[in-house]
């Protein structure tokens, strides 16, 4: 397995990133409203041209993290630095030039395209908003983009309903490419698509990442898809990063119990490989992010939990004996083989 | 012992645009205590065919043809009264989204008890006891307390457990599970699949598992049916279909998904194009416009003649390619994929 070697320039850095959503109290006397700790102090760095994967189960805060990175949300704590500039609390005006460089691709290709606009005006939208007139005109650029994503350039006059799910996702990708971004946040870009179509879109994104050198933050719950697409991957649980590593290290040498459980739960399509595989089954459900467990947030479902796990929160630290950059937040980290043969 | 036998099932819907042939000649058998996995993409007819088994289609717009025999009872054309007796009793179903398939106005316990009373005529007290017992069986902690709660007080995984409790409370011979874990997280999915397996061996229920996830099929199914455009294109044991698939569409499905242990440098091989319209399906083999190998079949049979699932029993596929050609192509492809 070859990995992208030379570390390139840091493009985006988040440190201590925090997003607490206020919960409005219901009922007459419950005055004190709580907060949903959707993202609670995460550090991550995305390098130029790299694909960074974020995995985790629903409610772990991966989508919120994506929205924070694209600055669609203003964080309640911590900081985001993009290309050397602090954009944590940047105003709309200050953000305008950066918005052209960070784009998003959404999960649902049906709700993310305006049904009343033609494909041409959807893709030209970002250029219009930013007053960009590419050489040769917007229409020519739209047609180039349609071609780049594998659609017929003559179809710019059609409406979204005339396209299938996979084709619509391509339209969303063309729109994200319109301003030649440096970073694309792709939030579950293939999970709404049929399996045979998923591969088409994954291959397209991979080609774009390589040919155009765009950095990706690839958010997905499908561990196999993330592994295929991302060079570096962070696993999130209840608003925190619990483990972060290069692809090969994370999948072949995972250290956090939650990563073990997650990987061991993915059913493999080979009926024979299942027999030799270690089965780790978590009990119970993810606790509420309004009132997360003290100390380590995973401890309520962890088979290794001891007293210290409840009293002290484990920091995300470099693991001794592991590759540089392989960090986990656990008091009792341990390498374990859970992948199918 | 075969409990369900489907022969040449056709489910056609009349719409403004024409007749949608959602299922067009589907046949399979299912034995007691076994699991049949039906895989395919959206619109391949996997859900529609199973709704037909339960008689859940609107009779005004739907034409159902062929035969569905459940324990020697003919279900095609059976009266609504007969079907009502069967649903939830002989045949049960669990759906993808447990929140929309449970009633928000009744407690979970009431919903289980209602099903039980309806089919057994048990007293309210007995039915409630059964509800609590079932909740315990599906692994819900504190079942007495939980039975009195409403679906919104349950988490996604718990709701699916409650659905399973409703489905199995009358000890049905056949359980149809339509994407039972698609809406769930992967760690919860693993729990639910384990639970279904345990309950199946306890109750000897036959299961039809509808899914698009090859991993789920590999873990759960004894036999597999691959559906495409309303027809079965391949049938066999789980090992036959996943290890030595014969139909080009099955090859496509398997090579288009990334495997956890796969080589990340090998690109995925998508099935090109999109699924066909079911109003005006392609002539001949419905897969031929997306198939890379149709030129290897002489006399353009792929575009003129509809291939049948052959041989009639065991591992078979509906494809005109000669067996030797298939082997050759598949060996080549696997080598290319490493």
Q: What residues 144-163 of chain B have any CB closer than 8 A to a CB of chain A? A: 155-158
Residues B174 and B260 in one domain: no
* CB contacts < 8 A (A, B): 138
List the alpha helices (DSSP H) in chain B: 46-53, 80-86, 98-101, 108-120, 124-137, 143-146, 156-168, 186-203, 214-220, 238-243, 248-256, 301-304, 323-337
Q: For residues A116-154, b (16+ Cβ closer than 10 Å) or e, as one string?
A: eebbbebbbebbeeeeeebeeebeebbbebbebbbbeee
Q: Helices in chain A by DSSP H: which ranges?
A: 62-69, 92-99, 119-129, 138-148, 165-177, 195-212, 223-229, 247-252, 257-265, 273-276, 307-311
Least CA distance to A197: which residue of chain B?
B270
Contact between B249 and B224 under an 8 Å Cβ cutoff? The reply is no
B242-281 residues touching A, CB cutoff 8 A = 242-243, 252-254, 256-265, 267-272, 274-275
- Asked if residue B263 and residue B207 are part of one domain, the reply reads no
Q: Does B212 reach chain A within 8 Å, measured CB to CB?
A: yes
Question: Which residues lie below 8 Å from residue B328, measured CB to CB, with a gap of 6+?
Answer: none
Per-window interface: B 230-249 vs A, CB < 8 A: 238-239, 242-243
Residue B161 sits in the same domain as residue B268: no
Q: Are residues B264 and B210 in the same domain?
A: no
Contacts of B246 (CB under 8 A, 6+ apart): B234, B315, B316, B317, B319, B326, B330
- Helix, strand, coil distribution of chain A in percent, nearest 5: 35, 20, 45
Number of C-beta neighbours around residue B25 at 10 A: 18
φ/ψ (deg, to 5) at A111: -85, -10
**Which domain-ending residue is among B201, B227, B253?**
B227
Return residues 26-55 of A near B (CB < 8 Å): none
Same domain, B269 and B175: no
pLDDT at residue A25 is higher than 70: no
- CB contact (8 A) between residue A199 and residue B274: no
DSSP-derived 3-state class of residue B170 = coil
Contact flag B264-A225 (C-beta cutoff 8 Å): no
Whole-number pLDDT of residue B96:
84
CATH number, residue B223: 3.40.50.300
pLDDT at res. A287 = 87
Considering only CB atoms, A195 lies closest to which of B41, B219, B265, namely: B41
Contact at 8 Å (CB) between A267 and B193?
yes
B150 and B206 inside one domain: yes
Question: Does some domain include residue B94?
Answer: yes
Best probe of the A interface among B37, B183, B190, by most A CBs < 10 A, is B190
Q: Are B174 and B138 in a shared domain?
A: yes
Closest alpha carbon to A228 in B288, B329, B255, B285? B255
Q: How far is CA B59 from the centre of its chain?
A: 22
Tell me how far CA of residue A105 lies from CA of A109, A173, A193, A215, A305, in angstroms.
9, 6, 14, 13, 38
CB contact under 8 A, B218 and A200: no
Same domain, B202 and B262: no
Alpha-carbon distance of A122 to A120, in angstroms, equals 5
Residues B41 and B133 in one domain: yes
Token reading at B333: 């492809």
**B46, B96, B187, B247: best to mutate for the A interface, most A CBs within 10 A:** B187
Distances (CA, A) of B40 to B214, B257, B275: 10, 13, 11
Helices (H) and strands (E) counted in chain A, each on its own, are 11, 12
* Residue B201 covered by a domain: yes
B181 falls within a domain: yes
CA distance, residue B269 to nearest chain A CA (Å): 7
Cβ contact A268–B260 (<8 Å): yes
Residues B183 and B157 in one domain: yes
Residues from chain A contacting residue B265 (CB–CB below 8 Å): 1-2
Residues in Cβ contact with B262 at an 8 Å cutoff, skipping those fewer than 6 apart: A224, A228
One domain, residues B118 and B214: yes
Domain presence at residue B88: yes
Is the per-residue pLDDT at A30 higher than 70?
A: no
Please give the DSSP secondary-structure letter assigned to residue A319: P
What is the structure's pLDDT at B169?
92
Cβ of B310: how many Cβ atoms within 10 Å?
10
Which two three-digit tokens encode residue B123?
């007293």
Q: Which of B227, B257, B291 is the last residue of a domain?
A: B227
d(CA B152, CA B107): 10
Give me the number of domains chain B comprises.
2
Q: Is B324 inside any structural domain?
A: yes
For residue B57, the tally of other CB atoms under 10 A from its CB is: 16
Helix, coil or strand: residue B87: strand
Interface of B with A in 34-93 (CB under 8 A): 41-42
In a domain, B239, yes or no: no
The pTM assigned to this predicted structure is: 0.89
Note whether B271 contacts A199, CB cutoff 8 Å.
yes
Rounded to the nearest 5 degrees, what angle is found at the Cα of B162, between the Cα atoms of B159 and B167?
A: 130
Measured distance CA(A221)–CA(A237) in Å, rounded: 12
* Inter-chain residue contact B187 with A282, CB threshold 8 Å: yes
Q: What is the pLDDT of residue A3?
A: 47
H or E element at residue A38 = strand A35-47
Whether A126 has a pLDDT exceeding 80, the answer reads: yes
Q: Which long-range contacts (CB under 8 A, 24 or more apart) does A27-33 make?
A: none
Helix (H) or strand (E) holding B178: strand B174-178
Chain B: residue nearest A247 by CA? B264
Q: Torsions phi, psi of B334, nearest 5?
A: -65, -35
Instruction: Tell me how close the Cα of B159 comes to any Cα of chain A, in angstroms.
Output: 12
Cβ contact A268–B190 (<8 Å): no
Range of the domain at B272: 245-337
Give which of A2, A53, A150, A195 to mutate to test B binding, by max B Cβ within 10 Å: A195
Where among B198, B227, B256 does a domain terminate? B227
Q: Which single residue is written with the structure tokens 């719409």?
A: B15
Picking from A228, A251, A267, the nearest residue to B268 by CB comes out as A228
pLDDT at position A27 over 70: no
Q: In the prediction, which pLDDT does B272 show?
A: 86
What residues of chain A, 51 to 110, have a C-beta less than 8 Å from chain B?
57-58
| A151/A159 Cα distance (integer angstroms) | 13
Per-block mean pLDDT, blocks of 10 residues, chain B (338 long): 94 92 94 95 89 91 94 92 92 87 94 94 95 93 94 89 93 94 87 92 94 92 95 95 94 89 86 87 93 91 92 91 90 80
pLDDT for position A306: 94
Chain B residues touching A247 at Cβ < 8 A: 264
Using CA atoms, how far apart are residues B192 and B180, in angstroms rounded to an integer? 8
Per-chain mean pLDDT for chain A: 90
Cα gap A80→A87, rounded to integer Å: 6
Mutate to test the interface with A, among B46, B183, B185, B337 (most CBs of A within 10 A): B185
Pairing of strands A183-187, A215-220: parallel
Regarding whether B174 and B53 lie in a shared domain, the answer is: yes
Backbone angles phi, psi at A230, to 5 degrees: -110, 145
Segment A321-336 mean pLDDT: 93
Judge: B218–A269 Cβ closer than 8 Å, yes or no: yes
Band (pLDDT 50/70/90 cuts) for residue A28 is: low
The rounded distance, in Å, linking the Cα atoms of B258 and A199 is 8
Query: What digits encode the pLDDT tens for the residues A68-121?
Result: 999 999 999 999 999 999 999 999 999 988 999 999 999 888 899 999 999 999
The answer to whether B258 contacts A228, with C-beta atoms less than 8 Å apart, is yes
Residue A1, pLDDT score: 41
pLDDT category at A2 given cuts 50, 70, 90 is very low
Looking at the DSSP bridge assignments, the partners of residue A10 are A47
Q: Quick one: DSSP state of residue A237?
A: E
User: What is the predicted pLDDT for the residue at A333?
Assistant: 94
pLDDT score, position A31: 57
**Structure-block tokens of residue B151:** 């679906």
Q: Report d(CA A284, CA B165) in Å as an integer.
A: 17
Q: Cβ neighbours of residue A288 under 8 Å, at least 6 residues apart?
A: none
Q: Has residue B191 been placed in a domain? A: yes
Residue B166 forms part of a structural domain = yes
| List of chain B residues whose C-beta atoms are within 8 Å of the C-beta of residue A339 | 260-261
Q: In whole angstroms, give the CA distance from residue A336 to residue A330.
A: 14
Angle among Cα A152, A156, A157 to the nearest 5 degrees reads 130
């Amino acid at each position: 397995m070859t990995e992208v070697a030379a570390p390139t320039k840091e493009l985006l850095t988040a440190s201590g990133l925090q997003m607490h959503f206020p919960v409005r109290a219901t009922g007459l006397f419950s005055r004190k409203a709580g907060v949903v700790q959707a993202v609670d102090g995460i550090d991550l760095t995305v390098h130029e041209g790299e694909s960074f994967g974020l995995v985790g189960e629903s409610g772990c805060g991966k989508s919120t993290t994506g929205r924070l990175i694209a600055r669609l949300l203003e964080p309640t704590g911590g900081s985001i630095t993009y290309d050397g500039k602090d954009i944590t609390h940047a105003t709309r005006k200050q953000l305008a030039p950066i918005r052209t460089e960070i784009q998003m691709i959404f999960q649902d290709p049906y709700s993310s395209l305006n049904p009343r606009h033609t494909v041409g005006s959807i893709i030209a939208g970002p250029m219009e908003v930013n007053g960009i007139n590419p050489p040769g005109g917007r229409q020519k650029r739209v047609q180039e983009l349609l071609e780049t994503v594998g659609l017929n350039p003559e179809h710019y006059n059609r409406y979204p309903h005339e396209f299938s799910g996979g084709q619509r996702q391509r339209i969303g990708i063309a729109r994200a490419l319109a301003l030649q971004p440096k970073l694309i946040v792709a939030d579950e870009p293939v999970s709404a698509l049929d399996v045979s179509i998923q591969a088409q879109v994954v291959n397209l994104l991979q080609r774009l990442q390589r040919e155009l050198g765009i950095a990706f933050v690839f958010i997905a719950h499908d561990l196999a898809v993330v592994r295929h697409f991302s060079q570096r991957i962070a696993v999130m649980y209840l608003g925190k990063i619990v483990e972060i590593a290069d692809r090969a290290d994370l999948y072949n040498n995972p250290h956090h119990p939650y990563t073990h459980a997650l990987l061991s739960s993915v059913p493999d399509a080979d009926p024979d490989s299942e027999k030799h595989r270690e089965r780790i089954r978590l009990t119970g459900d993810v606790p509420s992010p309004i009132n997360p467990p003290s100390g380590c947030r995973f401890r309520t479902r962890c088979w290794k939990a001891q007293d210290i796990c409840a009293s002290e929160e484990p920091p995300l630290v470099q693991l001794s004996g592991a590759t540089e950059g392989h960090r986990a937040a656990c008091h009792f980290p341990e390498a374990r083989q859970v992948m199918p043969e | 012992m075969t409990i369900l036998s489907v022969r040449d099932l056709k489910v056609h819907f009349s719409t403004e645009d024409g007749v949608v042939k959602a299922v067009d000649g589907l046949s399979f058998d299912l034995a007691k205590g076994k699991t049949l996995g039906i895989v395919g993409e959206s619109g391949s007819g996997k859900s529609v065919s199973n709704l037909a088994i339960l008689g859940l289609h609107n009779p005004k717009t739907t034409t159902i043809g062929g035969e569905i025999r459940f324990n020697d009872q003919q279900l095609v054309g059976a009266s609504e009264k007969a079907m009502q007796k069967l649903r939830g009793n002989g045949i049960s179903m669990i759906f993808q989204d447990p929140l929309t398939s449970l009633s928000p106005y009744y407690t979970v316990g009431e919903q289980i008890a209602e099903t039980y009373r309806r089919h057994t005529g048990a007293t309210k007290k007995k039915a409630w006891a059964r509800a609590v017992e079932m909740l315990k069986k599906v692994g819900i902690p504190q079942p007495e307390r939980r039975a009195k709660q409403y679906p919104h007080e349950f988490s996604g995984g718990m709701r699916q457990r409650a659905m399973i409790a409703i489905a199995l409370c009358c000890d049905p011979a056949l359980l149809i599970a339509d994407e039972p874990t698609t809406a769930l997280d992967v760690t919860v999915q693993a729990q639910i699949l384990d639970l279904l397996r345990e309950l199946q061996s306890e109750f000897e229920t036959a299961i039809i598992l509808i899914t698009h996830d090859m991993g789920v099929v590999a873990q759960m199914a004894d036999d597999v049916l691959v559906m495409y455009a309303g027809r079965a294109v391949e049938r066999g044991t789980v090992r036959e279909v996943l290890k030595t698939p014969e139909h080009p569409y099955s090859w496509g499905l398997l090579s288009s998904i990334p495997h956890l242990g796969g080589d990340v440098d090998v690109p995925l091989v998508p099935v090109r194009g999109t699924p066909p319209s079911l109003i005006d399906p392609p002539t001949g083999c419905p897969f031929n416009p997306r198939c890379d190998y149709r030129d290897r079949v002489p006399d353009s049979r792929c575009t003129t003649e509809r291939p049948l699932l052959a041989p009639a029993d065991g591992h078979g596929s509906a494809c005109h390619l000669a067996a030797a050609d298939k082997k050759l192509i598949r060996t080549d492809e696997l080598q290319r994929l490493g």
